[in-house]
Amino acid sequence: MNALTSALDIDAKEVLSELEAIYKDLHRNPELSMQEARTAGIAADYLAAQGFEVSRQIGLTGVVGVLKNGEGPTVMLRADMDALPVTEATGLPYASTTKARDEDGIEVGVAHACGHDMHVTWLMGAARLLSRHRDVWKGTVLAVFQPGEEVGRGAQGMIDDGMLERFPKPDIILGQHVMVGEAGTVGYRSGVILSAGDSMKVRLFGRGSHGSQPQTSIDPVIMAASTTMRLQTIVSREIAPIDSAVLTIGSLQAGTKENIIPDEATLKLNIRTYDEDVRSTMLSAVKRICCAECAASNAPREPEFTALSTYPLTRNDVEATEKVAQAFNAQFGERAHETKPAGASEDFSTFGRAWKVPYVFWFVGGTDAQTYVKAKEAKKLNEIPSNHSPKFAPTLDPTLKTGLQAMLTAASVWLCAKEKKA
């Protein structure tokens, strides 16, 4: 146990009680991507109360707090703030009933179905303890509350708003995510831990007509159906079995009435990959197949491609991850373990890539321990509501404390370096 986590044990009852109240408030009042004004205000005010120099509205709603405490490394701790357009179905007494309008002006339910409310709470708790116990560490802490992770624009938006020039360059960037897993456990991995993610919209153009005169049309519904089926062959026939990729058509929209052949159809698709060459192959093949199917249908024009979101690979620095893993093993014992890569994607690594510094990202289990163990024994882990499910709800105890311990433990590798050598 290091000095920072020892400080948490000293203040545990008071700190965890306060953080639980904060978490429930954030959970009850979620905000959509790039609309996180209330959440950002709570985080910024809290940092200011802890003595951080606070900058607001970075990349629209982002918050950066700086706490300097003598000579030493600069450590960046990051939490994402946004919620999802999901109607919550957890049945929790503090469940969200919030509704909001998305970027298309459509009213949707809003819920923290990915756990970002937990991430914000963890970072607020870490900020408090770092401020209170400055006697046990040296260096500079950047506490970063990021908007828009769910749309892949938040991290880049903060960078584009001058983040690299306005704040000290970190020596290490640290982040974590609550996931399905036994509560109280921490999963780390060197190298690739999260996939790259690419989402796009494809408009296919035809020629509308009456259903009784198909010969006068160029049917975009057939075009879309053929394209959808052919796109599935990219993974099965163009990607080597030892590689990994996923292509999902999440939306296919065309027409309004059964006897009208529409003018166009729209596909929305998502690609997940773990290798840059595989990613390039997938993206190239998608465009080739879409264009070829349109040509085969004699479409009046080529398809139109619009990027919806792009997430880079999250590839943890090997040396830095080894240090964090050693610290986790010392802190958590058997509750720390090496994890497999996850299929999810994140824009967390955008900060490390822009600053050209090492970063480490890890997982914190949030599933009730008994529930997880029973599901694992019954080989029914896939039935546990996962991130983005309307029923996703991390158990508070011990998830809240474990995530706070993990963040402080990882930060201490750099901030308490002198103490470790003693």
List binding-site positions for Mn(2+). 114, 116, 150, 177
The single-letter DSSP state of residue 335 is G
What does the angle CA 95 – CA 99 – CA 101 come to, to the nearest 5 degrees?
150
Distances 16 to 13, 23, 210, 387, 398 between C-alpha atoms, Å: 6, 10, 65, 23, 10
Cα distance from N-terminal residue to C-terminal residue, the chain: 15
Helices (H), 267-385: 276-296, 318-332, 349-355, 369-377
- CA 393, distance to chain mean position in Å, is 16
Distance CA 44, CA 180 (A): 29
Sheet strands (E) in 41-171: 53-58, 62-69, 74-80, 99-101, 107-109, 139-146
User: Where is the binding site, in residues?
Assistant: 114, 116, 150, 177
Whether omega before 398 lies within 30 degrees of 0, making that bond cis, reads: yes
Distance CA 374, CA 369 (A): 9
- In the chain, the largest separation of any two C-alpha atoms, in whole Å, equals 85
Taking alpha carbons only, the member of 355, 310, 297 closest to residue 78 is: 355
Distances 273 to 177, 313, 345, 421 between C-alpha atoms, Å: 19, 8, 9, 40
Element (H, E) at 194: strand 191-194
Distance CA 238, CA 28 (A): 45
Distance CA 381, CA 335 (A): 18
308-340 burial, b at 16+ Cβ within 10 Å, e below that, comes to ebbbbbbbbbeebbebbbebbbebbeebbbebe
